[in-house]
Amino acid sequence: MLLATAAQQQPLLLFLDSVDQLTGIGTENNKVSWLPSRLPPHCKIIVTSAYEKANPELSKEYDVLRRMIDSEENFLEVKSLEDLAMQVL
């Protein structure tokens, strides 16, 4: 397993963007079931998922990920960009 290769001399950082858009992985009700709930030393995973309070169907993976994270310090919600910021980008 890739996660087991992490070491102090070679830490591992995985970026998984838009896990809510994955297909063919996990179950229809839980597309993130394959993610480990505990990581080995020297291994970090950054995961992004869509969230809309008014759209629970879109937010399913976000809700599962939120429950998987046992420490609030390991969770960061990134808010939508304002119109001006979107224009700058």
Q: Give the Cα separation of 21 and 52 in Å (integer).
A: 14
CA dihedral 82, 84, 86, 89 (to 10 degrees): -140
- pLDDT of 3-62, one tens digit each? 888 899 999 999 999 888 887 665 556 778 888 888 899 999 999 888 888 888 878 888
Sequence-distant (≥ 6) Cβ neighbours of residue 32 within 8 angstroms: 19, 26, 47, 49, 61, 64, 65, 68
Instruction: Count up the domains in the chain and report the number.
Output: 1
- H or E, element range at 43: strand 43-47
Q: What pLDDT was estimated at residue 15?
A: 93
Domain that includes residue 82, residue range: 2-88
In this prediction, residues 57-85 reach a mean pLDDT of: 82
Q: What pLDDT was estimated at residue 8?
A: 92
